[in-house]
Structure 1
Amino acid sequence: MTTQLFPGFRTSLVPVAPGVHIHAAIGGNGPPLLLLHGHPQTHVIWHKVAPALCERFTVVACDLRGYGDSSKPGGDPAHASYSKRTMAADMLKVMRSLGFAQFRVLAHDRGARVAHRLAADHPHAVQRLVLLDIAPTLAMYGKTNEAFARAYWHWFFLIQPAPLPERLIEADPAAYVRDVMGSRSAGLAPFDPRALLEYQRCLALPGAAHGLCEDYRASATIDLEHDRADLERGQRLPMPLLVLWGAQGVVQRCFDPLAEWRQVASDVSGEALPCGHYIPEEAPDRLLARALPFLAGDAG
């Protein structure tokens, strides 16, 4: 599938821990750019923007641990194996294995939460950062109201103790993908059928439902501890940060993304784009127009 949607890319399984490999698709030329996807998807979310990005950058599009064709290790009682700190360390190891000590990051949804922790824990490595359709995890949990809880019901379903949510997802993973993604503002229309099939294939892989749930369980527990520790230390992201979100999405309705990110980062710009949650697939041209000059360092 990567060869169909990412022509010219090569794929690699990069070891990052004992028994854990990260699947990466690599293509293009120029400064390194790490791409991270969200839920319940894979690196395939970037297929519409990858050709343009490859003209300017060496693109490394990864599947997060627990997702896609990356390893799906079991969880632990503290959910540390799926903490954003651990998942960020995976990505740092991938980039270093490819010879990139410093790089830019473009990330959506769950991947953007990994990217936030990557930038917080390894600010020397992340040169520029673009985060799509999220506010900080701590702010979103702390300011949850009825409207947000109804719209992002999966945040509260997926954190239930194992194996309840896993069992329900595994009963029909293809339906889970269709129902979750199709319930957003644009429905299923923006998604290439080949990409949709890839998301469904990957969620049906052994351990995928558990990895997905552990990602969310970590965000509701250990990740919040790490975020609170940053705030208590007064730690702020030092690199330029561009925040983009969907004007038709839940983040727009329930939060003030720029205000929230300015609480944790020093150099923040951004705006809403005329789309819903899945920006790389709903509004690829708008995303490129805003993100490319920022990532190239021509604006910011």
Structure 2
Amino acid sequence: MQAIEEIGASPFISGFTLQDVHLDNGITLRVASGGEGPPLVLLHGHPQNHVTWRKVAPILAKAYRVILPDLRGYGDSDKPVSDAQHRPYSKRLMAQDIVLLMARLGHARFALIGHDRGGRVGHRLALDYPQQVTCCTFIDIAPTATMYARTDQAFATRYFWWFFLIQPSPLPETMIGHDPAFFLRKHIDGQLKTPGATSEAVFNEYLRCYQRPEMIHAVCEDYRAAATIDLQDDAQDADKRIQCPLQLLWGGQGTVGNLYDVVETWRDKAISVSGEALPCGHSPQEEIPDLFLQKVQPFLKKVL
């Protein structure tokens, strides 16, 4: 088996090609990549895949080598068998995937932008591999441990899936599997506040992956890990700080922006923190891509 298998041109992201990259830990990630320059990794969240970056990646690729993986468990990447501790879907192992991916592609150091679950992977990655990460941008998240610790009725109501998906298998898997299109539509429509931000073609691409039973189970395992093994890893590393510059962007119309002082939640997690709210919901890269780029590009230029 070749370490990197060529798939072809991306049907959703202009100028990007698709590859299956086989990592030294046995995981294969589906990756879209394009552009030339310093390496920049963009990590998607739930329930999307790398296609969430379709509106911004071609612009960023004018200045950077842009790498867009599907996280393990998502999209067309591998969905490994889990265990009782949910360790295979821990952010620690998901972060390791990205370091191994970038090493396979020939990049020892890289910048990172992470949305939603991708930001949580990025948090762990920056803690575990400080020498590899030059800067981070996290989109629409407060730290996982903070959000669980401050849980109240408002958060539990707005982010009900944080408590639904962690229920023991096969309860959430069976319920979502009964009508994955309904669950996916309600999830995206509830979080994004900009009508038309997700076209029907893109929704169907997300659904193509999301309706697979193995992905539904992997998503649940991702959230189960976040409520168990990830919290244990965070507690053990409570004194560690993100060493590189950290930029925070969040939707002013979304749950995170309404319930938290986002920058404050990261003050004791990183050495250098800056951030601001944007006029959108959960996914600025899809809802307001031009403004998103206006905020991200100067930060990257200053650091890289």
TM interval, shorter chain, is over 0.9
For 2:194 and 2:184, locate their aligned partners in 1 and report how far apart those are by CA, in whole Å: 12
Is 2:208 the partner of 1:201?
yes
For 2:178 and 2:194, locate their aligned partners in 1 and report how far apart those are by CA, in whole Å: 22
Contact 1:25–1:62 at 8 Å: present in 2 too?
yes
Contact 1:178–1:188 at 8 Å: present in 2 too?
no
Is 2:303 the partner of 1:292?
no
SS of equivalent residue, structure 1 residue 189: coil
How far apart are 1:185 and its partner, in Å? 5.2
Cα distance 1:276–1:7, how it changes in 2: closer, same or farther (>3 A)?
same
Could you list the runs of 5+ residues in structure 2 that have no partner in the other structure? Answer: 1-7
- The CA deviation string for residues 195-235 of structure 1, in whole angstroms up to 9 with x for no partner, is 1111100112240000000000000001011111111xx21
Q: 1:245 aligns with which of 237, 242, 250?
A: 250
Is 2:75 the partner of 1:62?
no
For 2:303 and 2:24, locate their aligned partners in 1 and report how far apart those are by CA, in whole Å: 37
May I ask how many residue pairs the two structures share in their alignment?
297
For 2:243 and 2:273, locate their aligned partners in 1 and report how far apart those are by CA, in whole Å: 10
How far apart are 1:20 and its partner, in Å? 2.2
Contact 2:60–2:66 at 8 Å: present in 1 too?
yes
TM-score, normalised to structure 1, is: 0.96
After TM superposition, where is structure 1 displaced by more than 4 Å over at least 4 residues in a row?
none
Cα RMSD, aligned residues only: 1.5
Contact 1:103–1:126 at 8 Å: present in 2 too?
yes
For 2:23 and 2:99, locate their aligned partners in 1 and report how far apart those are by CA, in whole Å: 9
Cα distance 1:18–1:230, how it changes in 2: closer, same or farther (>3 A)?
closer
Identity %: 48
Contact 2:79–2:218 at 8 Å: present in 1 too?
yes
TM-score, normalised to structure 2, is: 0.94
1:22-171 matches, cutoff 5 A: 22-171=29-178
1:169-248 matches, cutoff 5 A: 169-184=176-191, 186=193, 189-231=196-238, 234-248=239-253
Contact 1:40–1:199 at 8 Å: present in 2 too?
yes
For 2:214 and 2:195, locate their aligned partners in 1 and report how far apart those are by CA, in whole Å: 25
Q: Which amino acid aligns with 1:246?
A: G
For 1:188 and 1:27, locate their aligned partners in 2 and report how far apart those are by CA, in whole Å: 28
For 1:276 and 1:179, locate their aligned partners in 2 and report how far apart those are by CA, in whole Å: 14
SS of equivalent residue, structure 1 residue 183: helix
Contact 2:23–2:104 at 8 Å: present in 1 too?
no
Could you list the runs of 5+ residues in structure 1 that have no partner in the other structure? Answer: none
